[in-house]
Chain A
């Protein structure tokens, strides 16, 4: 049973460029969340997707956008890259909760470096 996978592993971009990161959730999961983890910091919630809709968004500008596909996989797009966007981007999947809380499973992350 494959866990959460992310691609690419590493990425180097220059300021002003655009980037797309990809995530495949754990088998059976239908909800995907994206986090940004700057070096030495805790992850910061970007947004969560469920049923192909953005369900909740953190405090990130509109340059950060996403998409969820019918097979539950997801993309994170960042436009007009800034040096401060350099970070580890984590994807986490879970089963949508009907009550209580369902555990999130994290992927290995994509390390984005903006020069």
Chain B
């Protein structure tokens, strides 16, 4: 079975500092996609960043970057220069290549403090 595990239920960070959210996954697939989604309080879930498993280079989107370790099945999210608007639930997610079902982790609640 394919699973996604986020071991940090809650984290906090000071504004302007850097924080890293952890995610591990389990799959026997060789090709797949990994995602980080952000769900702000009472607002819609949006995609933050995605990584194709066949790409060795880590994905980067402005202040957001990932550390993708395929052999270790690890996919962490680094948020640099944290902003108050980054306060949200963050979900790690997985989709096998050619698949239709997105598997989500339980989420990490991030608080950015002023």
In the complex the two chains form, what is the Cα distance from A3 to B46 in whole Å? 12
Number of A-B contacts (CB under 8 A): 51
Selected from A42, A43, A103, A108, the residue in CB contact (under 8 A) with B44 is A108
Most B CB within 10 A of own CB, among A42, A92, A107, A108: A42
Chain A residues within an 8 Å CB radius of B91? 42-43
In the complex the two chains form, what is the Cα distance from A104 to B4 in whole Å? 18
Interface residues of A in 11-66 (CB under 8 A from B): 33, 35, 40-45, 48, 55-56, 58
Q: A56–B102 contact, CB under 8 A?
A: no
Name the residue of chain B whose CB is nearest to the CB of A42.
B104
In the complex the two chains form, what is the Cα distance from A35 to B101 in whole Å? 10
Chain B contact patch, size range? 20 to 34
A106 interface hit (Cβ, 8 Å): yes
Name the residue of chain A whose CB is nearest to the CB of B4.
A42
B112 interface hit (Cβ, 8 Å): no
A52, chain B: closest CB distance, angstroms = 15
Selected from B45, B52, B93, B100, the residue in CB contact (under 8 A) with A33 is B100
B65, chain A: closest CB distance, angstroms = 18
A76 interface hit (Cβ, 8 Å): no
In the complex the two chains form, what is the Cα distance from A79 to B92 in whole Å? 31
Q: B106–A101 contact, CB under 8 A?
A: no
In the complex the two chains form, what is the Cα distance from A93 to B45 in whole Å? 12
B84, chain A: closest CB distance, angstroms = 22
Q: A42-B91, A43-B91 are in contact. Are A101 and B104 (CB under 8 A)?
A: no
Q: A43–B101 contact, CB under 8 A?
A: no
A98, chain B: closest CB distance, angstroms = 11
Q: B95–A90 contact, CB under 8 A?
A: no
Q: A58–B101 contact, CB under 8 A?
A: yes
A55, chain B: closest CB distance, angstroms = 6
> Which B positions have Cβ atoms within 8 angstroms of A?
4, 33, 43-47, 50, 52, 91, 93, 95, 97, 99-107
User: What are the 10 tightest A-B residue pairs by CB atom distance, in nearest-first order?
Assistant: A42-B104, A106-B45, A56-B100, A45-B101, A48-B100, A101-B33, A43-B104, A42-B106, A108-B44, A42-B107
